[in-house]
Structures are given as structure tokens and as C-alpha cells.
Structure 1
Amino acid sequence: MKAGWVAGTVRAKGLVGRHPGADGAREIAAEPTLDDGLRRLATTPYARYARPATDLPEAQRAVSATLLWHLRVLAGWLPPGGARLLVPLAAGFEIANVVDVLSDGRRTDVPAPYRLGALETAWRSLARADTPAQVRAALAATPWGDPGADTPWALVTGMRMAAARRTALTVPPARRWAQGRAALLTARERFVQGRSLPDPVRRDAARLLGARAPAAATYEEFHGRLPAAARWVLSGVEEPGGLWRAEARWWRTVLRDGTALLREGRYGPQVVVGAVAVLSVDAWRVRAALESAARGGRPGEVFDALA
């Protein structure tokens, strides 16, 4: 085992051990105001970016920025080429940057883009795009691939499905999560939003879910046609309105699987992937906890389902 993987594994476990976990998130969620929640957040590793936050969106973005910073730190401890393992797992930050690019001009509060460093796929090209058509052209020339149309919805949906495809191909321990994410995305777009997937997005979905599921005419058919590797995420969710429960199940599964990778793995990629999973769930849970504090210490259903 290369020394870089040993160092990266030790660093990964150290990062996980410092985070608040379920108990810490519950404490934040129980605070009666956002200010109280932020004061408790200041005792955690999220304090670095959260100190200047004055409202809920700023605080939640600070939590996400902290997660990204820790992934970048972790990537720096891996052996040459090891950071490539983390690039698909950090794809959500590049997608968030593109969402902000597409909203520029319609919002006055567009935040500074996430700084991806070695974890970027194509951000430097995408950042130069001024129109949706230019964003599409930039995506088509990169591993993201052509999303099939240049509407903001098609661009973002294409990136989200491409992220699942790329994760499944290049991060074997995360393939099951990628398939579950593809099932959720397809179900939400087809049967909640009532949209047809652009051809490239449908092809990516078929790679992960088989050809029959994305072509289903109803949610019931879709559920029944999913392969076992993806059907788990929708188990017990009999109608599209219950997809929030499937979302919570996805996060619980990522947490359980990530924790198992941390415990069972030795020095190597599996432990690193497990750490990224647990850190990602922790950030998701803390963002939900801050929302609870902003609502007067009343957790929402999704937070309760995960905590």
C-alpha cells in the first residue's frame, strides 16, 4: 500500500472524528433561533466558514463550503492520481456553481463560486460561459457530456445524471448510491415535474437503471422495472408524493454504507470513499439542523427521518 493512501486514510478518519454527528446536529436543531444554532455551530469544524453568516442561506452555504474544503484537504493527502477518486463525489459543487451562473441576472444575491481546486471537472471553462448555449457547449467538450438542450433545467438535470453516471463508473464503492440517485432524479423529473428527459440524460439513466425503467409511462411501472440495485431507494414509496421519504432513505444508506467502509477498510480508497460519504451526510444533516433552529427548534420530517 502506497504511503499516500496510508496518510490519506489516517487523515480521512481524523476528519470524520471531529464532526458533530447525529447528536451534535440534534443539539443545533433544538436551538430556538438561528443565532443560537450558529453559536453552537461555532464549536464545530464548520466554524471556519460559518462565522460571518447572518442568515440561513449563508449559514447553510458555509456548511457546504466547509465540506468542500475538507474534501480538498483530503485530496491533497492522497497519492498522485488519488484525487481523481474524489472528483465525481464533489460534482455537486460544480453543479451548484453552474446553477448560480444560470441564475445570474435574475438574482442580486449570487454568491461567490465554490473553489474546487483539484476537484474541478470543467469549472474554468464553465465560468467563462455567458449564456445557456455557451454552458451547453462547454459541457459537451468535457467529461460532463452534452446534456441535450440548453434550457437551464436541461443543463442542470444533465449534469446531475452525468454525475451519477461518472460516480458509478469511477468510484466502485459508490455505484449503489449512484444508481439510487439516478432513480430518484428520474422519478422526480418524470412523475413529479412531468418532464421528458433529454436523450443524453435518458441514455445515462439507462446505463444505471436499465433501458426499461426510464421508458416507463407511469410511476408504478417505473418502480417495478427498476433493477434490484436501484429499487431499494423507492421501497415502500408507492406514489411520487412520497419521494421525500426515498430521499431520506438514500442519505441513511449512504451513511450506513460509508460507516461500514470506514470500519471494515484498511488503508486505501474504500476508507477514503467511506469518509467522504459520512462527511457529506454530516453536512446535509447540519444544514437541515440550521433550518430547524431558524424555525424555532422544530425539526422537519426529512431531518427527523435521518437523525
Structure 2
Amino acid sequence: MSAAWVAGAVRARALTVRCPGAGGAREIAACSSLDEALRRLGGTPYGRYTREAAGLPEAQRAVSATLLWHLRVLAGWLPRAGARLLVPLVSGFEIANVVARLSPEQPEHPAQQGRVPPYRLGALETAWRRLDEAVTPAELRAVLAASPWGDPGGDTPWAVVTGMRMAAARRTGLAVPQARGWAVARAALLTAREVFVHGRSLPEPVRRDAARLLGARAPTAASYQEFRDGLPVPARRLLTGVEDPAGLWRAEAGWWRTLRDDGAALLRDGRPGPGVVVGAVALLSVDAWRVRAALESAARGGRLGEAFDALA
């Protein structure tokens, strides 16, 4: 194992040690106001980004920005192959940038003032700089089609974002063996939500990506029960006990618990290498998710939500 992998593994472990963890997040969630929660958060690695936050959305975005910065720092310690491994794992930030671009509240042209600043991905971007230059929906779709994202199958905001989310699962499942189970389960949740909650038919490229992870049967199922029965083991296990689409939020919380538990197991592996790094990314992501949920609880006066309670 190269010195860069050893250094990256050491850095990865150090980043997770500094997280507030479940106990810290619960203390933040129990605060009686967002201001109190942000003051408490000031003593954590998130404090650098959240100290100037005005309101809940900005504070939650600052927590996500902290996560991204830590992953960019981690990538700098890794060999080139390790940094490439992180690209699909941070693809959610590029999706968030596109969602912001497509928001009706956002100015249409990238140069206009008033835009929500995009997440800065640096060397971990897939195609963001070209996507940011696209002006029309057709141009945005064309850039995606010519990139590792692939054609989303349409240029409406829903088609673009759904296509990118499924492509993120596909790319993660193919490029990061340690994360394939998470990607399969994520693809199942996305398919179930779109088809059986919102009643939408997946565009053909999205259906093909889903089939690569879930098999041919599940993405074309006529009922939720048939869909669940046709899933591969990691996704079917996640939906155990979720008898109808209304309970998918429980499966979502279960996905985060799986990410937490699998990440911890990978991090316990003493051998420096991809497994330790992927485990650290998982735990850092769970911690940021938990802190974002804790801030929302504090903004509501310290009332914990069921999803947060299930994970913390």
C-alpha cells in the first residue's frame, strides 16, 4: 500500500473523530432555538461555515458545505485513484447545484446576481463547470448526455434531476465496490418514490440505469408489492416491514442507519486503503445528515422528528 493511501487513511480517521456524533447531534436538536443550536455548533468542525448563517436553510447548507470541504481535503491526501473514487460519492453536491440552477427563484443566467452560490467541488466535480455555463434546458441536457452523467431522457427539471439521481446511484455502484449495496438501495428508494408515490413513469434512460442495479423485473413492476418482491437482497431487506409506499420514509431512515453501520465496519478495518476511505465518507455523510436534522429540530423548539430519533 502506497504512502499516499496510508496518509489518506490516517486523515480519514481523524476527520471522523472530530464529528459531533449522535450524542452531540441530540444535544443540538434539543436546543430551544436555532440561534442556541448554532452557538453550540460553533465548537464543532461545522462552526467555521455556520457562524454567519441566517436562518435554517442557510445553516443546513453550511453544514453540507463543511462536509464537502472535508472530502476535498481528504481527496488531496489520497493517490489519484483514491481521489477518483470520491467523485461519484460526492455527486449529490453537483446534483444540488443543478437543482438550484433549475429553481424558479434563481436568475436564469449564471452571471446574474442573487444566485445561491454553488457548492465548490474543485477536482471532485464531474461536469459542473460545463453545466453551469448551460443557459437553456436543452443545453443542460446536452451537457449531461456528453458527460459521465448520461442523458436523463428529458429536459424538464424533474427529468434532469431524476436522471442525475439515478445516474449517481449507477456510477457509485459501478465505481465503488464497497458502496454498491448503498447504491442499489438508493436506486430502489428513488424508483419506489417516483413510481408508486408520485405516479410517474421513469424516462427510458433512468429505467435502464435502475435495471443495471435492481435487475429487469423491479423497474417495470405494476404494483408496489411486485416491485418489492423483485428487488435484489440489499434493497429488499431495506423495505422489509414497509408494506406500502406511504412508509418509505422509514426505509429512508433505514438507509442512513445502514450507511452508518457499514461505514463504521469499514473504518474498523485496520488496513489503509479504499475501504477505510469509503467508510469515512459514509460516517462523515451520516454526521452531516444528522446535524442538519438536529438544526431543523432546534428551529422547531427542540422537538425531535421520528426520522432523526430513529438514527440518533
| TM-score (norm: length of structure 2) | 0.97
* Map of 2:176 onto structure 1: 171
In 2, distance between residues paired with 1:239 and 1:257? Answer: 26
SS at match of 2:288: helix
Cα distance, 1:139 vs structure 2: 0.1
**What residue is the counterpart of 1:292 in the other structure?**
297
Give the aligned CA root-mean-square deviation in angstroms. Answer: 1.1
- Answer yes or no: is 1:103 the counterpart of 2:97: no
- 1:162 equivalenced with 2:167 (yes/no): yes
Distance in 2 (CA, whole Å) between partners of 1:110 and 1:17 is 35
Deviation at 1:105? 4.8
Residue equivalent to 1:26? 26
Q: Which moved more, 1:131-140 or 1:274-283?
A: 131-140
Q: Does 1:140 align with 2:145?
A: yes
- 2:268 partner amino acid: R
Matches within 5 A, 1:14-93: 14-93=14-93
Deviation sequence 1:4-56 (CA, Å, 0-9, x none):
00000000000000010000000000000000000001010001110110200
Could you list the runs of 5+ residues in structure 2 that have no partner in the other structure?
108-112
**One-letter identity of the residue aligned with 1:295:** R
- Cα–Cα, structure 1 residues 285 and 105, in superposed 2: closer, same or farther, change >3 Å? closer
Structure 1 counterpart of 2:79, which letter? P
CA distance in 1, matches of 2:80, 2:311: 36
Q: How many Å separate the matches in 2 of 1:109 and 1:245?
A: 36
Contact 1:184-1:233 within 8 A present in 2 as well: no
User: Is the CA contact (8 Å cut-off) linking 1:102 and 1:131 kept in structure 2?
Assistant: no
Equivalences for residues 259-274 of structure 1 within 5 A:
259-274=264-279
Over the matched positions of the two proteins, sequence identity in percent amounts to: 74
Q: Is the deviation greater in 75-84 or in 196-205? A: 75-84
Deviations 1:172-224 (A, max 9, x none): 00000000000000000000010000000000000000000000011111011
- Alignment-mate amino acid for residue 28 of structure 2: I
Whole-angstrom CA distance in 2 between matches of 1:300 and 1:257: 24
In the alignment of these two chains, the number of paired residues is: 307
**Out of 123, 131, 137, which is 1:126 matched to?**
131
Tell me if 1:224 matches 2:235. Answer: no
Are residue 7 (structure 1) and residue 7 (structure 2) matched?
yes
Q: CA deviation at 1:132?
A: 1.4
Shift of 1:228: 1.1
CA contact (8 A) 1:67 1:279 kept: yes
User: What TM-score, normalized by structure 1, do the two folds share?
Assistant: 0.98
Whether the 8 Å contact between 2:166 and 2:190 is mirrored in structure 1 is yes
Question: Shift of residue 106 of structure 1?
Answer: 5.2
Give the Å deviation of 1:229.
2.8
Deviation at residue 81 of structure 1 after TM alignment: 2.8
Q: Where do 1:181-200 residues align within 5 Å?
A: 181-200=186-205
Task: Give me the whole-angstrom Cα distance separating, in 1, the residues matched to 2:74 and 2:219.
Answer: 36
Residue 130 (structure 1) shift: 1.1
Deviations 1:91-138 (A, max 9, x none): 000000000111155579641000000110000110001121111000
State how far apart, in whole Å, the 1-side matches of 2:104 and 2:158 are.
15
Other structure's SS at 2:218 match? coil
